[in-house]
Structure 1
Amino acid sequence: MSEPMRVVVVNQSGGLYGIERMLLALLPALRTRGVDVTFLALCREEDEGGALGRLLREQGIPVHFVPITRFVGLGPLRRVVATLRACDPHVVHVHGYKAATAVGLARLLWRRPVLATVHSESASSKDMRAAMLAETTFCKSFERVIAVSTGVLRDLQQRGVARDRLAIIQNGIVDRFAVVSADPRGERDPARIVAVGRLVAVKRFAAAIHSVAALVRQGHPCTLQIVGDGPLRPELERLADELGVSAHVQFVGFVDEVTPFLAGASIFAMPSASEGAPMALLEAMAAGCAIVASRVGGIPDIIRHEEDALLIDPTDETDLTRALERLLLDVSLRERFATSARRRFLEEFEAQRMSARYVDAYSTVAAGDA
């Protein structure tokens, strides 16, 4: 292709969570590779979900806002079509069920090749069956569907997406921890554990609080920083109080940048019951943390048990406590896992590697070879 590849990336955001952090890494990296990339946000600029678009615009990426609420109405749909026509992309790249639905409907009026990235398994969205059905219907017609893990790929196959339309591209992030590579331990609190994510049941922050309480009772003084916010925060605060560990559990709340918290902790915990390809895990790898994470979803694709981390069974109530205790007591093990995890991040999950894989996928789709 003699002219630059033109790509419009479409997403409806509710805040700066996993998908948004992936896009904050991907779009600037695409631009450095010569891709003419534009972002279409399916929300209002002034809303919380508009933060992603605002941040991308600050980096010089063109951004358009077309608000879409619960349903994709005819008016917003026409605006989506008009925006896509004006951008005239070679490929439209959608993230999330609302973007897949809006662009899928838009193709009835204006057709361009579409590549969709699916970030999680349908089992993690049981309360959104209608939305998942719509996403599945349109993904079956898109030229290429990218899964962020083998688990998501298997789920898409079970949902009826043809295998020859599917590929895996694992998420990546920008390396903000270059200094860590010289000294992976840095100035860290050896007894600090950090956990990052939205405070919802699937993340199992209650299990982390129970583990800290057990460790303190066993004579292992440690602290847990929970970075994130969500509907379960009052319940989790009560739990820490009931277990007598309020002084050992810090609720940081939502932050735009988790880097300082990862850089100050020795251990990162992700005891989730379900995950796709979690960005917080990649950030912990980049930061040089020793990691304990559940053996679910795409996590085993990203990090290896007893090589880069300790992987636990989220259905075993004591597995998390035992893993945390091992890392708290064994400095050399923490350092070995931290160094290995960072090396693996640099080899497989840095943003430029991810963007190179997407450029190849765009070229294939635009050429009609998908």
Structure 2
Amino acid sequence: MNREFKVVQIVPSISLGGAEQMALNLTRVLTEKGLDAQIVSLSGNSEVWNEVWRKRGLDYNAAYFVGKRQGPDFSCLRGLFRHLGQIRPRVVHSHMHALRYLVPCAVRQRQPRYFHTLHSIEKAHRSIAENVTHAVARSLNIHPIGVSRAVAKSYEGGGVYRHVPVIENGIDTGRFAFDPGARQETRSMLGARDGTVVYVCVARFHDVKNHLALIRGFLEVLEDGRDLMLVLVGDGPTRVEAENLVASREQSMRIRFLGAASDPCKLLAGGDFFVLASKWEGHPLALLEAMSVGLVPIVPRVGGIPEIVQDGENGILFEPSRSGELAGAIRASLQMSGRATMSKLARATIEKKFSSDAMGMHYLELYGGRAE
């Protein structure tokens, strides 16, 4: 056990978002490898933390909550400085907009090694505050890490960083595995018959996830008279608009809104295909989880997705900018004869390249540590 090697992950909050869940997975893996690993959540509370992990079947409570108020709140830095001073980590690693709170830590204390994971494609129009934060982070030698080659290249090409190493996201393939009992239970809950083809989308309801385009494409295919169902797992600001779009249609019962789920394993098990219509993605955790369960992905050719899915081999890729492409991809999925083979290849891809254990080892190497 290398308990002298202390690692702190700083996240904006404990939530169901992909970046936050990746940080939780990484903390768990590093702990299993013998390190003293901890999560620091800028906002939220321990009750939320415990509920998320209880539903995920995990017994892990190494978390510290800084108590940041909503919006930018640099008064929380006092508590963050105090906590880091008490535990004296060798590595401090931030995610998402927690970088703006990591920078003052690096200014104040240069001794730990600092890292920041870039989870999404670099935006063409960043705010002045974001530009300044990244520039200062670069000058302080805060090491950037991209979750995909597409993410890394977007930051390198935009001149934000000269070089961004890539460590791809990983998931617990033991937990996300096909469960015939869960499949039967979920399909019964959904009212899906034996012949019903179920498409599952796990994504927060936000403009970037493009749920409206997904729903319109699915409604178009429903007009063919096939026995299909679309299951939407998630919540967010665009959900009401999506529900209103569905409510106005005849076959509204074919599209189910299930809300957010802290443990999507069982819901994924009830599906046949996983579908996304996102405008951009970094390296979506939900896609990895669905493929690990054995769902065949139907996903857009954006961001880091083509680094995971090879069209016609372990999934179906479509061009999101072309009208009718999504509906065409869904129709193609209904005609395919080798879905079982593609399902096995989807699972094999995750086992081979995107396990949380492999992710943890890559981060450990980058940190300069070792597990004993």
For Structure 1 versus Structure 2, the TM-score category normalised by the shorter chain is 0.7 to 0.9
Within 1, Cα distance between the matches of 2:326 and 2:93? Answer: 38
Flag the 1:138–1:279 CA change in 2: closer, same or farther, 3 A.
farther
1:13-28 equivalence runs, <5 A: 13=13, 15-28=15-28
Map of 2:88 onto structure 1: 88
Within 2, Cα distance between the matches of 1:327 and 1:168? Answer: 32
Q: 1:237 aligns with which of 236, 240, 243?
A: 243
Residues 1:71 and 2:76 aligned together? no
Alignment gaps of 5+ in structure 2: 188-193
Within 2, Cα distance between the matches of 1:315 and 1:3? Answer: 50
Question: Offset of 1:58 from its aligned partner?
Answer: 6.5
> Aligned to 1:293, what secondary structure does the other structure show?
strand
Question: Offset of 1:349 from its aligned partner?
Answer: 0.6
Within 2, Cα distance between the matches of 1:19 and 1:186? Answer: 27
Within 2, Cα distance between the matches of 1:50 and 1:156? Answer: 35
Within 2, Cα distance between the matches of 1:177 and 1:84? Answer: 32
Map of 1:163 onto structure 2: 162
Flag the 1:224–1:198 CA change in 2: closer, same or farther, 3 A.
same
Is contact 2:106-2:114 (8 Å) kept? Answer: no
Question: Offset of 1:116 from its aligned partner?
Answer: 0.9
Is contact 2:170-2:358 (8 Å) kept? Answer: yes
> Aligned to 1:12, what secondary structure does the other structure show?
strand
Question: Offset of 1:47 from its aligned partner?
Answer: 8.0
Within 2, Cα distance between the matches of 1:55 and 1:11? Answer: 20
Question: Offset of 1:78 from its aligned partner?
Answer: 2.0
* Letter matched to residue 30 of structure 2: L
1:137-152 equivalence runs, <5 A: 137-140=135-138, 141-152=140-151
* Letter matched to residue 171 of structure 1: N
Within 1, Cα distance between the matches of 2:258 and 2:99? Answer: 34
1:1-370 equivalence runs, <5 A: 4-13=4-13, 15-45=15-45, 59-69=59-69, 70-73=71-74, 75-97=75-97, 99-111=98-110, 112-123=112-123, 129-140=127-138, 141-164=140-163, 166-177=164-175, 180=178, 190-330=196-336, 332-363=337-368
Per mean C-alpha deviation after superposition, the further-off stretch among 155-164 and 276-285 is: 155-164
Q: CA RMSD in A?
A: 2.8
TM-score normalised to structure 2 length: 0.87
Is contact 1:120-1:275 (8 Å) kept? Answer: yes
* Letter matched to residue 239 of structure 1: L
Is contact 2:103-2:136 (8 Å) kept? Answer: yes
Within 1, Cα distance between the matches of 2:24 and 2:80? Answer: 22
Is contact 2:231-2:255 (8 Å) kept? Answer: yes
Flag the 1:23–1:215 CA change in 2: closer, same or farther, 3 A.
same
Is contact 2:148-2:166 (8 Å) kept? Answer: yes
Is contact 2:235-2:259 (8 Å) kept? Answer: yes
Question: Offset of 1:131 from its aligned partner?
Answer: 4.8
Question: Offset of 1:176 from its aligned partner?
Answer: 4.2
Which digits, 9 at most, give the CA deviation of each residue in 1:71-90, with x for residues without a partner? Answer: 242x4212211111111111
Flag the 1:248–1:3 CA change in 2: closer, same or farther, 3 A.
closer
Is contact 1:295-1:314 (8 Å) kept? Answer: yes
* Letter matched to residue 356 of structure 1: M
TM-score normalised to structure 1 length: 0.88
> Aligned to 1:304, what secondary structure does the other structure show?
coil
Which digits, 9 at most, give the CA deviation of each residue in 1:75-125, with x for residues without a partner? Answer: 42122111111111111111112x21112112222222101111012329x
Alignment gaps of 5+ in structure 1: 366-370
Aligned identity (percent) is: 28
Which digits, 9 at most, give the CA deviation of each residue in 1:304-353, with x for residues without a partner? Answer: 111111111111121111111121233x3321221111000000111101
Between Structure 1 and Structure 2, how many residues are aligned? 357
Within 2, Cα distance between the matches of 1:8 and 1:55? Answer: 23
Which digits, 9 at most, give the CA deviation of each residue in 1:206-254, with x for residues without a partner? Answer: 1221122211211222110000111112211121133322111001111
Flag the 1:57–1:143 CA change in 2: closer, same or farther, 3 A.
farther
